[in-house]
Amino acid sequence: MKIAIITLNGHFNYGNRLQNYALQEFLKNFSEQVDTIWYEKNEWWNNVSYLPETSLNKKFLSKKYLKYILKYILNRHNIRMKEKILKENYGEECIRQYNIKKFSDRYISIHYDYRIKENIGTEYDFFVVGSDQIWYPFPNKMNIRFLKFAPYEKRIAYAASLGNSKIEKVYKNLFKKSILGMKHISVRESKGAEIIYELIGKKVPVLVDPTLLLSKEKWDKMIIKPSWYKECKYIFVYFLGDLPLEIKKFAQKYNLKIINMMDKSNFDIYVSGVEEFIYLIKNAQLVVTDSFHGTIFSILMNIPFIVLSRKENNKLLDMNSRIETLLELFGYQDRYIVNGKCNLSEDEILHMDFSDVKAIQEREIERSTAYMKKALNLE
């Protein structure tokens, strides 16, 4: 059996690559070949937007970019020179994406098909779309993300996320038709299941993010200690925006260093790779995040955490469903801090009970396995 995965392509964040890898490993339980179809031409070396701002045109920028790529390749054995070339000419974002890409190169079987050939539907026995926010923003690339290039009986959605709590009225009929075109559907959030039921009158299962389908022990084998890391006790911070003053005061009170993954002023930390990301969560005294996958790996590694609500222009972003579904699953609703309101004591913040995590995870793996066996006609 051959299975192809359709998910969000890119090396823009850790969670996207981790869930892609995890879904691949889960599907290997049922198939001898699992590939991820790479349909987006969005690699960092094709994107001049990360180059320093200049009045020069894109054509010149592309030539300049290629020149530095050549310098980079010629210095491939000189790590310090490689980093110097990239940092000076491309900026932190390119290096960060490059390091994230190394994870894909190392662990994920990728089939590049930027146009999604007409015959690709016959090359694989099944196509699995998911997980991540693959159905947001709707209707972006809907023919691909709803597997319309493949025969109906080959279309499976695993823990697909709508990434929102509602579908805009103008898109409802289109979304309804696309959903009806899926043979098997499962979603990641409770709200997504509600939306689908409202549209087509069908109850679909809510299944966990693929990263929860792999054991802590399997993730442990992948971690890499960052070369810049020096042993210390620290709070691991992974969220967009300014660091709240309360977190700084908390760190000072308990003599904890702050490692802020999104601080571009700290080059070494910001460009850390995927395996290093897991290491930094596993070895933290506390994780402070607004990230869905930052939360998942805190739970998997049994590290105390708090989740801050995400804001943009002083407005709460519509991400409640995925965080709430996850926290409700494990009984950690009190770890979600909305508008800065925290009812936990300092001792409760630093100490959590993870005794039920493994049993809950095993139960969810069984549910996902049963769903996938049915979808793959293996029952």
281 vs 81, residue with greater confidence: 281
Is 71 in a helix, a strand, or coil?
helix
Question: In angstroms, rounded to a whole number, what is the distance separating the alpha carbons of residues 204 and 207?
Answer: 9
The DSSP secondary-structure symbol of 258 reads E
Taken as a whole, the chain contains a residue count of 379
> What's the mean per-residue pLDDT of the chain?
86
**What pLDDT does 166 receive?**
84
Question: Residue 212: CB partners within 8 Å, gap ≥ 6?
Answer: 22, 296, 300, 361, 364, 365
**What pLDDT does 12 receive?**
83
Q: How confident is the model at residue 266 (pLDDT cuts 50, 70, 90)?
A: confident
Q: How confident is the model at residue 315 (pLDDT cuts 50, 70, 90)?
A: very low
Overall average pLDDT of the 58-68 stretch: 47
pLDDT digits (tens, 9 = 90+) for 71-97: 555 555 565 655 565 555 456 777 788
**What pLDDT does 47 receive?**
44
First and final CA of the chain: distance in angstroms? 15
By the 10 Å C-beta count (0-12 exposed, 13-18 middle, 19+ buried), 208 is classed as buried
216-355 has which CATH code? Answer: 3.40.50
**What pLDDT does 80 receive?**
61
**What pLDDT does 92 receive?**
73
pLDDT digits (tens, 9 = 90+) for 338-353: 877 889 999 999 999 9
**What pLDDT does 279 receive?**
98
Overall average pLDDT of the 257-265 stretch: 91
SS3 readout for 280-322: HHHCCCEEEECCHHHHHHHHHCCCCEEEECCEECCEECCCHHH
**What pLDDT does 76 receive?**
52
Residue 64 above 70 pLDDT? no
81 vs 48, residue with greater confidence: 81
Its pTM stands at 0.87
Class of domain 2-42+109-212+363-375 as given by CATH = alpha beta
**What pLDDT does 58 receive?**
42
Overall average pLDDT of the 43-56 stretch: 41
282 vs 241, residue with greater confidence: 282
